[in-house]
Amino acid sequence: MRDIRVATVQFQHAAGDKVYNFGRIRHFATEAARARVELIAFPEMCLTGYWHVRKLSRAAFEALAEPVPDGPSTRDLLNLSREHGMTIGAGLLERAPDGGVYNAYVVAMPDGTWAVHRKLHVFEHECIVAGDRFTVFDTPHGCRLGVLICYDNNIVENARATALAGAEILMAPHQTGGCNSVSPRAMKPVDPAIWARRHEDPAAIRAELCGPKGRGWIMRWLPSRAHDNGMFLIFANGIGPDDDEIRTGNAMVLDPYGEVIVETSEPRDAMVVADLDASLLPTSSGRRWLRARRPELYECLTRRTGQETRTRRVRFGD
């Protein structure tokens, strides 16, 4: 990998309004081009809208989806990528040839190539289909990129598998924060009244977005995905009302030591830019740990079933 300038974006999408949402993508991509950015990440399902889709009928849900790469959104992303010489990642609903609908993330590259990741752990609609593979690929910018969408990143094995496939940068598009988690120690809803008064009382909304409902929760686990696997991580997120939840933003870029290089700080649509120093990769803890793995080792695991104890040997690291 060589040094590369990247950007990440938080913005409030409009439910089902692809024209408006692509307009926001074009706006930020144009700003990024002025800053000589080569790679930019937008949030999960930011083209189609996110949380409202769970309420759609099957017909309306399927109508919102489109094929990749022949659908209009992917074509628009590829044209925008070529226009600015920039790799652009953005989320949408993909309709596969077999009719299945996926929560997908398209990465359009300026040489006309593209990649798509289908979210592995899905729950957005009763008819949505889960992806079945990891997504790691080379880019025209001399770096190897991986993609995991939102909850995919919460499963530690997904990040490790992506790193083992050679990813140097992980794109992590989300629609998170402000969710009504069942865990008493995780996210909770952001108070809509505080959001509505964000201009009059900025300290209150920052406390909501940066506290345990948003950034405070994210920082308990997201940096470890970068640190433990020796990858740069680009976190993009929604901001503001998303149906009956309020997204917490906090778009950020982390280095392979899990340190935040740059992050957003305001409750509005925003972009941040970071220069990735490739020299950090070889010495990062995660890269050294990957090299130090012992795939030949076996460990005995004991499982008790009633009065019977069974021992099985499991190979780690393959």
> What DSSP line would sit under 201-244, residue for residue?
-HHHHHHHHHSTTTHHHHTTTHHHHHHHHT-EEEEEB-EEEETT
Can you tell me the mean pLDDT for 207-224? 96
pLDDT tens readout for residues 11-53: 999 999 999 999 999 999 999 999 999 999 999 999 999 999 9
Round to whole Å and give the CA distance between 280 and 255: 8
Flag whether pLDDT at 307 surpasses 70. no
Round to whole Å and give the CA distance between 303 and 281: 39
Flag whether pLDDT at 317 surpasses 50. no
Q: Which pLDDT belongs to residue 285?
A: 87
Q: Which pLDDT belongs to residue 302?
A: 52
Chain mean pLDDT for the chain? 93
Flag whether pLDDT at 251 surpasses 50. yes
Round to whole Å and give the CA distance between 10 and 180: 20
Flag whether pLDDT at 162 surpasses 90. yes
Judging by DSSP bridges, how do beta strands 135-138 and 232-236 pair with one another?
unpaired
H/E segment holding residue 25: helix 18-34
Can you tell me the mean pLDDT for 281-306? 74
Round to whole Å and give the CA distance between 210 and 32: 25
Q: Which of 141, 148, 22, 151 is nearest to 74 (CA)?
A: 22
Can you tell me the mean pLDDT for 66-77? 98
Can you tell me the mean pLDDT for 143-152? 98
Flag whether pLDDT at 76 surpasses 80. yes
H/E segment holding residue 134: none
Q: Which pLDDT belongs to residue 318?
A: 39
Flag whether pLDDT at 309 surpasses 50. no
Q: Which long-range contacts (CB under 8 A, 24 or more apart) does 28-31 make?
A: 28/269, 28/271, 29/80, 29/84, 29/86, 29/88, 30/84, 31/271
How many C-beta neighbours within 10 Å does residue 296 have? 9
Q: What angle do CA 90, 166, 33 make, to 5 degrees?
A: 35
Query: How far is Cα of residue 141 from the mean position of the Cα atoms in its chain?
Result: 20
- Segment among 144-158, 178-192, 216-230, 289-303 with least mean pLDDT: 289-303
Round to whole Å and give the CA distance between 170 and 227: 12
Q: Which pLDDT belongs to residue 291?
A: 85
Round to whole Å and give the CA distance between 32 and 27: 9
What is the DSSP-derived secondary structure letter of residue 61? H
Percent of the chain, pLDDT > 70? 93
Flag whether pLDDT at 311 surpasses 50. no
**The dihedral sign for the CA sequence 97, 98, 101, 107:** negative
Give me 207's structure tokens: 């406390």
